[in-house]
Amino acid sequence: MPDGKLNPLRLAPADAARLLSKAGGKPVDERQIVEAVEAGAPVDNGGDLNLVHLGAWLLREIGGFDR
């Protein structure tokens, strides 16, 4: 992130945690993101997260939505 801007379609776990903490009003730390990835949350080949894909994964995992 050389220009200081975050791309919500390609976030490192630390950036995802920071963004989710600010947006959600509840602290999210990098370890929680890493644990989600270890549990199967989708990442790209470089290990970056797409917030849309992460949200869909969380809905299926936590919300019980199946597709």
Domain boundaries, the chain: 13-63
Q: What is the pLDDT of residue 57?
A: 93
pTM confidence score: 0.82
φ, ψ at 10 (rounded to 5°): -150, 90
- pLDDT, one tens digit per residue, over 2-50 is 577 889 999 999 999 999 999 988 999 999 999 999 999 999 999 999 9
Alpha carbons 20 and 6: distance in angstroms, whole number = 12
